[in-house]
Amino acid sequence: MKLRFLNCLPLPQRCVFRSDFASSCFYFRQTTQDAPEEVRNRDFRRELEERERAAAREKNRDRPTREHTTSSSVSKKPRLDQIPAANLDADDPLTDEEDEDEDFEEESDDDDTAALLAELEKIKKERAEEQARKEQEQKAEEERIRMENILSGNPLLNLTGPSQPQANFKVKRRWDDDVVFKNCAKGVDDQKKDKRFVNDTLRSEFHKKFMEKYIK
């Protein structure tokens, strides 16, 4: 009965908290948390200009608009130095002088770019010509070496040339000419019959006497 009661009791379970999984996963920055990719793709200059324009519009709304007294002042385009700083707006068109300055800067930039491109093309052309010249010189040198090898390899062609040295057709000695037991008996009869040591049993003095006494 006691064992049955113990089996009916629920088993204790461990409580799981959110902090337990803090070190088991990675947390990445979301799109609104200045992620590196988001910061890299943002145009901060454009955002700053938009904020400045919005601030200038708010200031212009607070100030009352001034009416022009004469029609000439209305028809004439106001200059930039005559407009107060509070009425300046980034959306207002630039003056003629500023337009001319910007056009001049753009033209100068275009001229510089064109000059750089022309210089780059010139350098590429010079390098290509230098490479072609080196390849041609290398081919000419290889052809000259090949012709020299052909002429020097044929002895008949070497004889025809006046500046070529005279060819030697003498047969070279064989590798086995300088051996110990070759032509050992040559000129033995012409020499004096005195006793001397011969490193050959067939041509020794004892062998000769033995053959003359018992064989002949």
102 lies in the same domain as 56: no
The larger pLDDT score, comparing residue 161 to residue 216, is at 216
Res 133 pLDDT > 80:
yes
Is residue 206 domain-resident?
Answer: no
The reported pLDDT for the residue numbered 1 is: 47
50 lies in the same domain as 102: no
The chain-wide mean pLDDT, for the chain, equals 71
The pLDDT-based confidence of 95 (bands split at 50, 70, 90) is low
Is residue 134 domain-resident?
Answer: yes
Res 140 pLDDT > 70:
yes
Show contacts of 2-9: CB within 8 Å, 24+ apart: none
57 lies in the same domain as 113: no
48 lies in the same domain as 103: no
112 lies in the same domain as 55: no
**Residues 191-199: what's their mean pLDDT?**
65
Cβ atoms of 60 and 86 within 8 Å: the answer is: yes
Is residue 104 domain-resident?
Answer: yes
99 lies in the same domain as 144: yes
Q: Who contacts 169 (Cβ-Cβ below 8 Å, separation ≥6)?
A: 155
**Residues 146-165: what's their mean pLDDT?**
69
**Residues 76-94: what's their mean pLDDT?**
51
The larger pLDDT score, comparing residue 86 to residue 99, is at 99
Residue 109 belongs to domain spanning: 95-160
The larger pLDDT score, comparing residue 4 to residue 100, is at 100
In the numeric block, which tokens belong to residue 185?
A: 């008996």
118, 138, 160 - which closes a domain: 160
56 lies in the same domain as 99: no
Is residue 185 domain-resident?
Answer: no
108 lies in the same domain as 150: yes
Is residue 213 domain-resident?
Answer: no
Domains in the chain, number:
2
The pLDDT-based confidence of 74 (bands split at 50, 70, 90) is very low
Is residue 138 domain-resident?
Answer: yes
The larger pLDDT score, comparing residue 44 to residue 81, is at 44
Cα radius of gyration rounded to whole Å, the chain: 56
The reported pLDDT for the residue numbered 149 is: 86
Is residue 45 domain-resident?
Answer: yes
Is residue 174 domain-resident?
Answer: no
The reported pLDDT for the residue numbered 143 is: 94
- Distance between CA atoms of 83 and 76, rounded to whole angstroms? 13
